A and B are shown apart, each in its own frame.
Chain A
Amino acid sequence: TQLLEQSPQFLSIQEGENLTVYCNSSSVFSSLQWYRQEPGEGPVLLVTVVTGGEVKKLKRLTFQFGDARKDSSLHITAAQPGDTGLYLCAGAGSARQLTFGSGTQLTVLP
């Protein structure tokens, strides 16, 4: 079973601060996805990264896939209260099965 470890588990910051969330594994993933989940709702896909070293930007969010495709990071610039939520990384454990990390609960205080 391929495992994905996310850190930190909890993060509470003030509006305007920057932050980075990490997703690490000892296994190689062919691709990796990041989802955001808000209370009482299902996860929503933010981005998919496929190539080692790939960097994708989504407004104030920057996603990076490690060169060896074993890790990924999510960087948020100038966080806003609307960024509050549970951030989940997920990798392809097999062709039909996604393996999810345990998640990072982000709270951005106004």
Chain B
Amino acid sequence: NAGVTQTPKFQVLKTGQSMTLQCAQDMNHEYMSWYRQDPGMGLRLIHYSVGAGITDQGEVPNGYNVSRSTTEDFPLRLLSAAPSQTSVYFCASSYSGLAGTDTQYFGPGTRLTVL
């Protein structure tokens, strides 16, 4: 099993550009989520999905879109990149998504810089 994979590992964008961060898992997990990690702020939830076709907003959803067409994939789209979106982005998956009890498996992260 590859677990949770993310691409690209690094990305530099100019303000206003759009891009998609890819995330895939091969553990047949129903729950997938996206976090951003900024210095001194831990991880903050952007969007999450409890199954194919179902998505919901987390703590910091503005400027990001998601969709979940398959169980395996959960891409994160930046519509018009801003310098405030410079961060490290982590995708995670878990079997049921019950926060605080279910094990979250994290990908290796995407380091995004917006100039």
Given contacts A9-B40, A101-B42, A103-B42, are A94 and B99 in contact (CB under 8 A)? yes
CB proximity of A44 to chain B, nearest CB, Å:
7
| Interchain CB contact under 8 A, B100 and A92 | yes
Give bound CA distance, A4 to B99, whole Å: 15
Asked if A40 and B108 sit within 8 Å, CB to CB, the answer is yes
Instruction: Assess A88 versus B42: contact at CB under 8 Å? Given A96-B50, A96-B56.
Output: yes
Q: CA A6 – CA B41 in complex, angstroms? A: 10
- List B contacts of A4 (CB < 8 A): 42
Query: Which A residue's beta carbon lies closest to that of B100?
Result: A92
The reply to whether B41 and A102 form a contact with Cβ atoms under 8 Å apart is yes
List CB contacts (< 8 Å) of B90-107 with chain A.
Answer: 90, 92, 97-101, 103-104, 106-107
- Do A95 and B109 have beta carbons less than 8 Å apart? no
How many chain-B residues does the 8 Å CB contact rule pick out? 27
Residue in A9, A29, A102 whose CB lies within 8 Å of B100: A29
Q: B45: CB under 8 A from chain A?
A: yes
Within 8 A of B (CB), among A59-110: 88, 90-98, 100-103
User: How far, in angstroms, from A103 to B103 measured CA to CA in the complex?
Assistant: 18
A41 and B108 contacting across the interface, CB-CB below 8 Å: yes
Contact status B42-A30, CB under 8 Å: no
Collect the chain B residues with CB atoms within 8 Å of residue A9's CB. 40
Give 9 closest A-B pairs by Cβ, nearest first: A42-B106, A92-B100, A31-B100, A100-B42, A92-B99, A100-B43, A102-B42, A98-B99, A45-B103
Residues of A within 8 A of B (CB): 1, 4, 6, 9, 29-33, 40-45, 48, 50, 88, 90-98, 100-103
Binding site for A on B (CB under 8 A): 4, 31, 35, 40-45, 48, 50, 56, 58-59, 90, 92, 97-101, 103-104, 106-109
